Amino acid sequence: MRHTHRLLVRHILAIRQIPIFSHCKAVLIFESNLAFESQHLLHALENNGVKNWVSLSEGQQGSLGWLTTNERKEQMCLLLREAMNVGRVAISDYFLSVELQQLEARKRIKDELLNVCLASTPAAPTHAFALRSTAW
């Protein structure tokens, strides 16, 4: 099983160790892309016996996953950053990581979410500028 698949399973199981979340339904929103990563992740959950979850389904022919574009992802990152800056979105007290210490994980995710940016660079050989994402 790939590292990302193990990581997903471990996180869901860790969240369910918190008493208030022990019986909650996991709501999953995976990107529906040409590599079918959402289907691979969901199969990993099934293969590891993870129960009580639901996934957004707007992929091609009703497949599981969320259809998006690079422009849409950029817009959402900028909107999330703004909402965090004005205090409308915060990182939960229950936020956890199965690989990093609590404070390091919180700092890293907050830094990544708040520091996403778009940089303009000249597009050779014209004087036009092209946007370049530094987030992904």
Over residues 83-102, mean pLDDT: 90
For position 123, what pLDDT does the model report? Answer: 56
For position 56, what pLDDT does the model report? Answer: 84
Please state the domain extents for the chain: 1-68, 69-136
For position 114, what pLDDT does the model report? Answer: 81
Q: In what helix (H) or strand (E) does residue 12 lie, and over which residues does it extend?
A: helix 3-15
Report angle CA 9, 88, 136 to the nearest 5 degrees: 50
pLDDT band of residue 118 (cuts 50, 70, 90) is low
Q: What percent of the chain has pLDDT over 70?
A: 80
pLDDT over threshold 60, residue 120: no
For the whole model, what pTM was predicted? 0.71
For position 1, what pLDDT does the model report? Answer: 58
- pLDDT tens for 30-70 read 887 666 778 888 899 999 999 999 988 876 777 777 777 88
Long-range contacts of 5-14 (CB under 8 A, 24+ apart): 5/40, 5/41, 5/44, 6/44, 7/98, 7/99, 8/41, 8/44, 8/45, 9/44, 9/45, 9/48, 9/50, 10/98, 11/96, 11/98, 12/45, 12/50, 12/53, 13/50, 14/96, 14/98
